Amino acid sequence: MLGVDAIIENALREDIHTGDLTTLAVVEGKRPARARFVAKEPFIVAGMRVASRVFSLLDPEVVFTPFCSDGNTVSKGDVLAELQGDASVLLQGERVALNLLQRMSGIATLTARYRNAVGGARARVVDTRKTTPGLRLLEKYAVRVGGGANHRTGLYDGVLIKENHIAAAGGISVAIGRARKSIPHTMKIEIETETLEQVAEALQAGADIIMLDNMDPETMSKAVGMIGGKAVVEASGGVTLETIGRIAATGVDIISVGALTHSARAMDISMLMEEA
């Protein structure tokens, strides 16, 4: 997986490429400048250190002074940070820094809304692999900032047997049995189920985590009762802010929500610059 610096460097290469034509044309030489990041709406902040790193990778002499931390809630008009440095550098880093900060803050803010909608139920809200290609590390971090938790990072760090795996293997019991023989004894096996019959088979086969995929709350409640604490229960599929409360009330342990990362709206943040 790409590290933070690699993600930023790729984004800068994508944006600047062979050179910032506009800045090269209109800004002569080194010109000291000051800039502010300003919130244009309320949201939960995520990605301040990432935004700062954009500018330090361009020029270590840029001074980035944050006025808030990840996890803080800001209001419209709040100044998130002040920057001082060469005007050309601030202009070149502006869009990449804002894109990442806006995206991450949007994910944190949406995650908090889902977490609050769970109410007093014990279910944890987790993300999925439905992330922006190349940004998974940052997006999953933003979920944690918003009060959610992370599901597996990728295909390499967890066993999740889904519908197509079951079809390819020839059945739930066969798939679980093969997985159990192949993985370390320290690793858990999760399997996706769509019916109560599949839940019973997964339980009999010794699944550690049973995903209830696209089940209605009434069926979920029956499945939770069948499982009876013998496996961790995850609800998934079609979870919205309107339905997550009813899903959580069924007694499931985990609710995975793809919308946290694939449907979060970027928060509105501006960079305002002036000569120092």
234 burial type by CB count under 10 A (0-12 exposed, 13-18 middle, 19+ buried): buried
Domain range annotation of the chain: 4-114+265-275, 116-262
- Cα 146 off chain centre by: 9
Instruction: Tell me if residue 95 is catalytic.
Output: yes
94 is catalytic: no
Q: Is 172 exposed, middle or buried, given 0-12, 13-18 or 19+ CB atoms closer than 10 A?
A: buried
134 to 1, 14, 55, 140, 150: CA distances (angstroms): 8, 13, 20, 12, 17
> Would you say domain 4-114+265-275 falls under CATH 3.90.1170.20?
yes
Catalytic residue among 124, 162, 178, 180: 162
9 included as an active-site residue: no
| pLDDT at position 1 | 63
> Which CATH number is correct for 116-262, 3.40.50.2300, 3.20.20.70, 3.40.50.720, 3.40.50.300?
3.20.20.70
> d(Cα 149, Cα 172) in Å, to the nearest integer?
27
Residues 182-227: pLDDT tens digits?
A: 999 999 999 999 999 999 999 999 999 999 999 999 999 999 999 9
- Pairing outcome for strands 209-213 and 189-193: parallel
pTM: 0.96
Share of the chain above pLDDT 90, in %: 96
Told to judge if 130 belongs to the known catalytic residues of this protein, a careful annotator would answer: yes
CA angle 124, 144, 239 (to 5 degrees): 45
Please write the tens of the pLDDT for every residue from 53-76: 999 999 999 999 999 999 999 999
Q: Do domains 4-114+265-275 and 116-262 have the same CATH topology?
A: no
Q: Assess whether pLDDT exceeds 80 at residue 276.
A: no
> Could you say which of 70, 127, 213, 234 is catalytic?
213
Among 95, 113, 152, 222, which one carries the catalytic annotation?
95
Q: Would you call 78 a catalytic residue per the annotation?
A: no
* Alpha helices (runs of H) in 59-188, residue ranges in sequence order: 87-117, 136-145, 163-169, 172-182
- Token output for 10: 């790729």
pLDDT at 85: 97
Report the share of the chain in percent with pLDDT over 70: 100
Going by C-alpha positions, the residue among 96, 161, 158 that lies closest to residue 127 is 158
Q: Catalytic: which of 94, 190, 192, 234?
A: 192
Instruction: Flag whether pLDDT at 259 surpasses 90.
Output: yes
Q: Are 44 and 73 within 8 A, CB to CB? A: yes
Query: Is a pLDDT exceeding 90 seen at residue 128?
Result: yes
Residue 2 has a pLDDT of: 75
Q: What Rg, from alpha-carbon coordinates, does the chain have?
A: 23
Mean pLDDT of 25-37: 94
From 130, 152, 180, 222, active-site residue: 130
How far apart CA 1 and CA 137 sit, in angstroms, is: 8
Is residue 93 pLDDT above 80, yes or no? yes
